Chains A and B, each alone.
Chain A
Amino acid sequence: MGRTLIEKIMSSHGGKDCRPGDVVWIDIDNRTARDFAGASVVGNLEKYGGDSPIADKSKTFFTFDCNVPANTIPYANNQQRIRIFARKHDLKVYDVDAGIGSHVVIEEKFARPGTTTVGTDSHLNIMGSVGAFGQGMGDVDIAYAFKTGKVWFEVPESVRVTLEGLPADGTEAKDIALAMLRRFSSHELLGKSVEIYGPWVENASLEDCVTLSSLATEMGAIIALIPPNDNVLDFFGTTRNEAVYADSDAAYLEDYSLDIEGLKPLIAAPPSPTNVFPVSEKTDVKVDGVFIGSCTNGTYKDLKYAAELLKGRKVAPGVMLKVVPATRATWARLLEEGLLKDIFDAGGIVSNAGCGGCASGQIGMTGEGEVQISTSNRNFKGKQGKGNTYLAGIGTAAASAVLGRIASVHELKEVL
């Protein structure tokens, strides 16, 4: 019997043939911690790490992205505690200027197809976008990975989702992720490794794969693995022979088919990412603020698209548009190509690279009664303040900012 993608990655890193339900100690290629929970990782290592708390410093690093630069004293203290520990043990810190750790790990090409990455970020399964294993874990697990290079993992069951057909023009990766959340909610894929196939993913850009995989957490899945296509392979300068794919006779617990032919833009209304509607059904909702960024929709491609839609247009009076590029490299490119000016001239606020509002670090919080359209990944009650957060793609976010109400990109192009 052949093996699924996750079974192959677990087997190659666990030193034995891995099947669902097996508990295996796997070697971790990239061991990371953020400013959030990183200080607790340091605390664990000081308590339990002994004289040699770091197994391999070349594979171990910190990424600051939650509260950057620190705007609370506890975060400032935690970051400095991490820096001191990192200097002592000669560990690299991607500091407050670097941006979202999960994106930095891909940009730096550490998380290549078939590799394993862990960190204190529940969206580290974003590595599924490049056919790699990634997992967010708590500070105990991550401290253990720093010290030993390994974590235990129960090999999950795999399911296969085939996206049939191609979506309509103006529909984005985010809309496809929302279509999956609408179909599967947060229970059907709980604890599963999901492999995604179909014509759309075969041609998707790396950035679109990142967006789709980043919503695996909200689906309750362990990870959403996308078999590396040519775009992803080209980014890493690698080939199909070096990447990992499922065997053709692999066994899946379920084989789902999801029709996305002609799919139109979707939006998730409060209070959960699975509360999904067509954008066209929500166009009477007035908007106070729009947030564009996060690990789900903060790449160069995402922000370039936003800038193109905003160029020559104005954000509606009374509406805040907050933009946070995912990484410093993204920021630099937007700056060099004049795209930040397009966002600025439209009335947008551009912040430094990082996670944005998701961890109460940067801009993106809401007040009671405030309606925010966000390109991020969670809109649970109280998560980003007491307001009502709707989740959508770049086109819907930009159109809503300009029109002052929930609107699709098609309306933006018709009206103005």
Chain B
Amino acid sequence: MKREGILKGRLWVLTENGKLFSDIDTDMIYHNAHLAVTDIDQMGQYAFGNLEGYKDFSVEARSGDLVLAGDNFGSGSSRQHAVDCFKALGVQAVIARSFGAIYKRNAINSGFPIIELPGLPDELFKQFDQAELNLEGGTLNVWDNRYQGNPMSAVARDIYLAGGLFQYAERM
């Protein structure tokens, strides 16, 4: 995987009743029926398989896409699958108002970028808007507008740049 500070891609805007989809838990991202899968390449097909309105995500997603959601994305279980399924599909990053604590560190440890944009309004973006994400600065650019989120922490950035926790540790 390339390690870049700027990610460009089309935006999957996840909504529920016209608002950014909040409290998407790990069973909606990657259902517990498929937990025995250990091969990351096999995980992509189950991404959002239990998320109302997005059950075809794994078929429709393209490599390079960015995912955008509301509050508390990835709450629930500790499953790494809920991060790895996106990596398997080539999704570049998840952007949300906030993340579940375990999800956040699972993403960081596997070198998968996530960006928090607290206070992001509900109706700013259209499905498949082209977006540009600056990981270092924590900014999201859509059309000519810039939205300021939380920059990656130093640890998160270093682990991301190394490609994951073990790769990072080798360089310590």
Contact = CB atoms under 8 A, between A and B. Distances in A.
B158 to A, nearest CB: 10
A217 interface: yes
A141 interface: yes
Contacts of B38: 39-40, 43, 78
Nearest to A153: B105
A47 B40 CA distance: 14
B142 interface: no
A137 B83 CA distance: 12
B27 A36 contact: no
Contact of B106 (A74, A77, A121, A140): A140
Interface in B136-172: 153-155, 164-166, 169
Nearest to B109: A140
A interface bracket (residues with beta carbon within 8 Å of B): 35 or more
Contacts of B124: none
A359 B166 contact: no
B71 interface: yes
Contact of B79 (A37, A67, A380): A37
Interface of B is mostly: loop
Interface residues of B, number: 37
Nearest to A137: B78
A140 to B, nearest CB: 4
Given A40-B38, A137-B106, A141-B109, A383 B78 contact: no
Contacts of A144: 109, 165-166, 169
- Which of A138, A148, A152, A187 has most B Cβ within 10 Å? A138
Contact of A380 (B25, B98, B106, B109): B25
B143 to A, nearest CB: 29
Given A40-B80, A144-B169, A137 B27 contact: no
Nearest to A222: B101
A296 to B, nearest CB: 14
Interface string A64-95: 00110000101101100000000000000000
Contact of A272 (B23, B100, B105): B23
Given A78-B36, A217-B76, A382-B27, A136 B102 contact: yes
A129 B7 CA distance: 42
B8 interface: no
A190 B77 contact: no
A23 interface: yes
Interface in A257-298: 272
Nearest to B25: A380
Contacts of A191: 98, 101
A138 B83 contact: yes
Minimum-distance CB pairs A-B, first 6: A74-B36, A138-B80, A136-B78, A138-B106, A48-B166, A140-B109
Interface of A: 23, 36-37, 39-40, 43-44, 47-48, 66-67, 72, 74-75, 77-78, 120-122, 124, 135-141, 143-144, 148, 152, 154, 156, 186-187, 190-191, 217, 220, 222, 272, 358-360, 378, 380-383
Given A37-B78, A72-B36, A74-B36, 19 more contacts: A39-B36, A66-B35, A77-B36, A121-B78, A122-B78, A138-B83, A138-B106, A140-B80, A140-B110, A144-B109, A152-B155, A154-B153, A154-B155, A186-B72, A187-B72, A359-B35, A380-B28, A382-B50, A383-B32
